[in-house]
Amino acid sequence: MTPKVVAIVGATGLVGNRMLQMLEERDFPVKSIKFLASERSRGKTLTFRGETVEVEVLAEDSFKGVEIALFSAGGGTSKKFAPCAAKDGCVVIDNSSAWRMDPDVPLVVPEVNADDIKWHKGIIANPNCSTIQLVVVLKPIHDAAKIERVVVSTYQAVSGAGIKALQEMRDQIIAVLENREPVCKIFPHPIAFNCIPQIPQSDAFTANGYTSEEMKMVDETKKIMGDESIRVTATTVRVPVHTGHSESVNIETQHKLTAAKAREILSLAPGVVVLDDPANQIYPLACDAAGKGETFVGRIREDISQSRGLDLWIVADNLLKGAALNAVQIAELL
For residue 164, the surrounding DSSP H or E stretch is: helix 163-177
d(CA 90, CA 83): 9
Q: Whole-angstrom Cα distance, residue 294 to residue 136?
A: 10
Burial string for 192-228 (b: 16+ CB within 10 Å, else e) reads: beeebebbebeeeeeeeebbbbbbbbbbbbbbbbeee
| Residue (of 39, 4, 42) closest to 23 by Cα position | 4
Selecting among 195, 245, 255, 287, the annotated active-site residue is 245
CA 179/CA 156 separation, integer angstroms: 26
User: DSSP state, 161?
Assistant: G
- Catalytic, out of 84, 120, 129, 142: 129
Would you call 129 a catalytic residue per the annotation?
yes
Note if 184 is an active site residue.
Answer: no
Amino acid identity for residue 227 in this structure: D
Q: Please say whether the beta carbons of 36 and 8 come within 8 A.
A: yes
Q: Residue 263 — left, alpha, or beta (φ > 0 → left; ψ -120 to 50 → alpha)?
A: alpha
3-state SS, residue 173: helix
Cis amide bond preceding 200, omega within 30: yes
Distance CA 126, CA 97 (A): 8
Q: Which residues are catalytic?
A: 129, 245
